[in-house]
Amino acid sequence: MTKLPVIDMSPLYSLSDEAAVAEVVKDIGTSCRTSGFFYVTGHGVSDELLTDLEAVSRAFFKLPEKTKLQIDMKHGGPAWRGYFPVGGELTSGRPDLKQGLYFGTELADDDPRVMANLPLHGRNQWPKELPELESLVLKYMASTAQAAQVLLRGIALSLGLDGNYFLNHYTQDPTVLFRIFHYPAGSADSWGVGEHTDYGLLTLLAQDQYGGLQVKSEGEWIAAPPVAGAMICNIGDMLDRLTGGWYRSTPHRVRNLSGHERLSFPLFFDPDFDAQMQALPNVANQPNMKGVLRWDEADLHGFVGSYGEYLLNKVGKVFPSLSKQVTN
C-alpha cells in the first residue's frame, strides 16, 4: 500500500441509502483490517470552523512563552488540561519536537467526577489574550465528536454488530480529548512525534497544508499528507483490544520536513472512563492475540480493566513530571 484509502462517510448519517451504506461499511472494514488508517470525507465538520480554529491557534503559539505558560498544564490539576512547551511531552521516552494545548470535555466544578478529583475530568484552561479560542474549540470538539460517533456506527456494522453497539456499550459518556499541536520547522534528524499508537477507539485528525504524518503499513512507512476536505481516521488500542486484533491499532509518527511551522488537530474519541475492556462477543473465532507482543513489546490483548486504568498508565509516561498529580 502506497497511500491511504478515502471513504465518504456521509451515508452513515441518515442510513437511508442501503446500497451506499453497505459500500461504506465494506470499505471501513477493509481499512480497519489492513492499514488501520483512512481518510474520511462527508464528516460534517465545516471547513470554515477549522479555518477559524487554525487562525486563532497560530495566534496563540506566537504569544510570548511567559504568556503561554500562564495556562501551563501544571496549573490544570488532575484535569490534565492546558499548555506544554516544546520538549514537554515524551513519546516512547523521548521528547517530542512540538508544543501543544490539551483540552477535554468541559465539566463544572460541582460535577461529581470533578468533586471526587477523578483524573482527566474538569475544566479547561483558556488564554485570556484570545477569548475566541474557547468557543471555537468547544464547537470543533462537539462537531468532530459527533462525526466519530457516526463513524463508530459504520465500524459496528462492519463487525456484524448493531449500528448502536458502541453507543449502547462504550460511548454513552465517551472520553473525549482534543489536542492542538504546533510543530516548529524541523530538520531531517528531528522527530515531531516518535513511533506510537493511540490509546482509545478512534482518532479523527485534521492537519494544515504542510503534512508530516507517516503511517506504518506492511512494515513500510508511508506518508499521510493532507487531503482537502478530509480528515484522517485511525484505530486506537482499545478497538484493537475489543476486536481481538481483528482491527489494527497502527504505529505512526510525525516528522515535519516542510520548512514551515505545522499545526495538527487530533481529537481522541474513546470509551467511557469506567468501561471494562474485553473482546467483543462475535470475535471469539478470530485468532487469540493474548500474549502476542507488539512493536512496543506490550501485550495489548492481555490487558484487563477499565479504559481509565489503561489511559492513566499511558499518560503518566507521556508527562512523567505530572504523573503523580494525575494518578494520585
The yes-or-no verdict on residue 87 having pLDDT over 60 is yes
The mean pLDDT of 249-274, rounded to a whole number, is 93
Task: Kindly state the cell numbers that stand for 220.
Answer: 513500510
More confident position, 90 or 181:
181
Residue spans per domain, the chain: 6-327
pLDDT of residue 226: 95
CA-to-CA dists, residue 322 to 72, 114, 144, angstroms: 11, 18, 28
pLDDT of residue 110: 94
The yes-or-no verdict on residue 327 having pLDDT over 60 is no
Q: Give the separation between CA 270 and CA 235, rounded to whole angstroms.
A: 10
pLDDT of residue 198: 95
pLDDT digit string, tens, across residues 132-179: 999 999 999 999 999 999 999 999 999 999 999 999 999 999 999 999
Asked if 258 contacts 212 with a C-beta cutoff of 8 angstroms, the reply is yes
The yes-or-no verdict on residue 194 having pLDDT over 80 is yes
Q: Give the separation between CA 138 and CA 150, rounded to whole angstroms.
A: 18
- The closest alpha carbon to 100, from 122, 121, 129, 80, belongs to 80
pLDDT of residue 287: 54
pLDDT digit string, tens, across residues 196-250: 999 999 999 999 999 899 999 878 899 999 999 999 999 999 999 999 888 989 9
pLDDT of residue 314: 84
pLDDT of residue 248: 87
Continuous H helices in the chain: 11-14, 18-33, 47-61, 65-68, 112-115, 132-158, 165-169, 237-242, 307-318, 323-327
More confident position, 252 or 186:
252
Residue bearing cell 474520511: 40
Mean pLDDT of the chain: 90
The mean pLDDT of 243-258, rounded to a whole number, is 90
Exposure b/e, 209-235, CB count within 10 A at least 16 = b: ebbbbbbbbeeeebebebbeebbbbbb
Written as one letter, the residue type at 182 is: H
Helix, strand, coil fractions of the chain, as percent rounded to 5: 35, 20, 40
With a pLDDT cut of 90, the percent of the chain lying above it is 72
What is the distance in angstroms between the CA of the first residue and the CA of the last residue of the chain?
44
Task: Kindly state the cell numbers that stand for 174.
Answer: 465517551
pTM of the prediction?
Answer: 0.93
pLDDT of residue 146: 98
Asked if 239 contacts 249 with a C-beta cutoff of 8 angstroms, the reply is yes
pLDDT of residue 288: 58
CA-to-CA dists, residue 42 to 11, 36, 39, 101, 152, angstroms: 8, 19, 10, 27, 14
Domain 6-327 CATH (choose: 3.40.50.150, 3.40.50.300, 2.60.120.330, 3.30.420.40): 2.60.120.330
- Give the Cβ contact number of residue 66 at 10 Å: 7
Least confident of 41-55, 80-94, 109-123: 80-94
Residue bearing cell 490483548: 301
pLDDT of residue 297: 73
